[in-house]
Amino acid sequence: MRASLIQIAVNEDESVEARRRRTASLVREQAGAADLVVLPELWTTGAFAFEAFDVEAEPLEGPTYEAMAKAASDAGVWLHAGSVPERAPDGHLYNTSLVLSPSGDLAAAYRKIHRFGFDKGEAVLMGAGEELVTVRLPETTLGVATCYDLRFPELFRGLVDAGAETLVVPAGWPERRRSHWTLLAQARAVENQAFVLACGTAGTHAGVPQAGHSIVVDPWGEVLAQAGGDEEVLTVEFDPARVARTREQFPALKDRMLGLPAPRR
Ligand SMILES: NC(=O)CCC(=O)C(=O)O
């Protein structure tokens, strides 16, 4: 199976509409080169451009969905279209990822569960998702998570329990915490014996330089490929059957001690 992670540069000198068009052509260019294409978190606005969330919010099947559905079907690829600021019918905002089939249908939508910012930014502007999402592809089952979710291993265990073998993480991770990004991507791969496909952004928005360095990690924790800091398409070939082999040959997941009593205080 081949996956292309499109590490888009998100800078303020480009309009949202221009970036949408440019991204759609990058997706189309993956025709024949990839089975699965992955885009980053909030690439229309930038993950740290908080003022833009409300202005650029769109319904689930809004302009980004429409442009990406067309691009996915033109290219004949599965497309994890990263996330958009979604305006729900009740008016609330969510950081919502879209997964599209090669015919352009919406296969899944995931509202980010762990919102970043503590008492500011996304954490106060967006609502929290409440559902884990997996998507069955012909070759593998995707488990989807977004950016800050990467710090919460229990979410990934939930995805593995739901059948995930390939963990896909769009992000808008800042350069200043790049070492955490690489470390956490490898940790989530090793502990879950799963592939991790983590796609970040390049560029600088709202004064926050982005880390880039999108990464693909195998179920043994080895880095199969990693991007640099600028806009880049990172294409990698991987064998989804390695997940089952790794879990069989080194069956650590079977040794989980579930239902341990709470510590005494
Ligand atoms: N957009 C995000 O979720 C940023 C996460 C982040 O900066 C971090 O976890 O560190």
Across 200-224, average pLDDT: 98
Q: Tell me if ipTM is over 0.95.
A: yes
> What is the structure's pLDDT at 265?
80
> Tens digit of pLDDT for each residue in 227-247?
999 999 999 999 999 999 999
* Paired residues of 121 in beta bridges: none
Summarised one tens digit per residue, pLDDT across range 194-208 is 999 999 999 999 999
Counting atoms of ligand 1 from 1, which one is nearest the CA of 177?
A: 10
Q: What's the mean per-residue pLDDT of the chain? A: 97
| Rounded-to-integer distance, Cα 106 and Cα 101, Å | 7
Ligand 1 surroundings by CB, under 6 angstroms: 41, 47, 116, 147-148, 151, 172-174, 177, 180
Count of C-beta atoms within a 10 Å radius of residue 3: 27
Distance in angstroms (rounded) separating the CA atoms of residues 215 and 229: 11
| pLDDT reading at 88 higher than 90 | yes
pLDDT in tens, 243-259: 999 999 999 999 999 88
Please name the residue that has the structure tokens 């025709």: 31
Q: What six digits make up the tokens of 170?
A: 């769009």
Q: With a cut of 90, say whether residue 70 has pLDDT above it.
A: yes
d(CA 49, CA 207): 9
- pTM of the predicted model as reported, rounded to 2 decimal places: 0.97
- Give the type of residue at 53: F
Q: Do strands 93-100 and 215-217 pair parallel, antiparallel, or not at all (unpaired)?
A: unpaired
Residue 255 is predicted with a pLDDT of 96
Q: Please confirm, yes or no, whether 56 is among the known catalytic residues.
A: no
